[in-house]
Amino acid sequence: MPRLEHLGVAIRDADAAIALYERLFGYTPYKREVVGEQGVETIFLDAGGAKIELLEAIRPDSPIAGFIEKRGEGLHHLAFEVRDIDATMQRLRDEGFRLLNDEPRRGADEKLIVFVHPKDTGGVLVEFCQRSPLPFEPEYAPFRDGQIAYYLGGQADGPPLVLMHAALGSTELETQRLLPTFDQHFRTIAVDFAAHGRSSAFAEEELTLEFFAEAVPAVLDHLGIARAHVFGFSMGGSSALHFALNYPDRIDRLVVHGMNVQWDEGEVETMADAMAGALGRDVPRWAKRLAETHGTERWQDLVRRMVIFTEALPEHYVPDDELAQITAPTLVSAGDRDRYFRIEHALNLWRTLPDARLAIHPGLDHPIQGVDPGRFAALVTDFLLDQ
């Protein structure tokens, strides 16, 4: 039987709606995500175990803009989770229901979705959704006493592009969203860091940026690739800089987003507290996601190790004179509302690197789910292909 997964509410203005739900219930958003294909930004609230999805149009041709034009703000749809969306679509068609899309579409929150025509459902717009983990399996490169998982895709003869995710993230959670665009231009190699996602735990190793960065040559060697472009988000960007420092002959162009290698104690405390919060009882949805991503038996150990990693970041401060040795053309990218990274870090990195360009994204907070994946990946692609 399908389970009620969330309620969708059409809103005009995200800031106003968030303030309203805070005032009315005390709810604060736990996730924001742009779904470019639907022309919406989605904001998720945890309503005591139930989920509310606020939908704001980001383009005039978005279905939410049309809905608000006709009916104003308000309840937009009910969403029901099913195990097999293809089978559900077939069943609905057989029952004579009209569907608003012929194929499942990518929705927010790693879901495949389909809508049923409201004229066939008593005036209520009904969504069916299925959780969609990566549609393909990783491959593995030997590394130290374990394996690094990576996802290979895109053009077999395209320029290689390595993608690296954030601390406590994974390819599935983060960099996957950018692959549909990158796959059109590059041979994509999306890496799960040591102890993250589908890679081995490397329980005996101390987790450091230098150690994480060593995964890149391991995977490139395994694939017989001499040089690659590298994209890194957050900790992936910091690791990418270390890779560029230690392997200058193996990097073509570098893109780093939402990252830093010059931490002070205060910044580190904010991040370590946020990570340690996953172990408490306050954010059950995040804990569930971490368990799904890194394994039920090992996610808590990973969080503990990453808190230690984070607290040690000031000891791994990379001074300007070292950064100045990175000659690879680099795009430094950052959101101007990033809760963890002061924009001064991005500006300093851009000024210090000998060949850098700068992209600042207005209104963007830290999570990469906040970018429009198609537009963001297109900007990165233009830089990497030097257009």
By C-beta, is 5 or 338 nearer to Co ion?
A: 5
Contact present, 2 and 82 (Cβ < 8 Å): yes
Cα–Cα dist 143/43, whole Å: 39
Write the single-letter amino acid at 323.
L
Nearer to Co ion, 128 or 341 (CB): 128
Nearer to Co ion by Cβ, of 33 and 214: the residue is: 33
Whole-number minimum distance, CB 82 to Co ion, in Å? Answer: 13
Smaller CB separation from Co ion, 79 or 149? 79
For the CB of residue 5, give the shortest distance to Co ion in the complex, in Å. Answer: 8
Binding stretches for Co ion (CB under 5 A): 8, 53, 79, 127
Spatial neighbors of 21 by CB under 8 A, at least 6 apart, are 27, 45, 52, 54
Minimal distance in Å, beta carbon 114 to Co ion? Answer: 11
CB of 176 to Co ion, least distance (A): 19
Q: How far is the CB of 297 from Co ion (least distance, A)?
A: 32
| Closer Cβ to Co ion, 127 or 372, answer by number | 127
- Distant-in-sequence, close-in-space partners of 91: CB < 8 Å, separation ≥ 6: none
CB 231 within 8 A of CB 163: yes
CB of 73 to Co ion, least distance (A): 16
d(CA 179, CA 172): 11
Give min distance, CB of 342 to Co ion, in A.
34
Closer residue to Co ion (CB): 66 or 248:
66
Q: Which is nearer to Co ion, 110 or 127 (CB)?
A: 127
Tokens coding 6:
């969330």
Q: How far is the CB of 169 from Co ion (least distance, A)?
A: 23
- Cβ proximity to Co ion: between 8 and 370 the closer is 8
User: 69: burial class by Cβ within 10 Å (0-12, 13-18, 19+)?
Assistant: exposed
- CA torsion sign for 150, 155, 157, 159 is negative
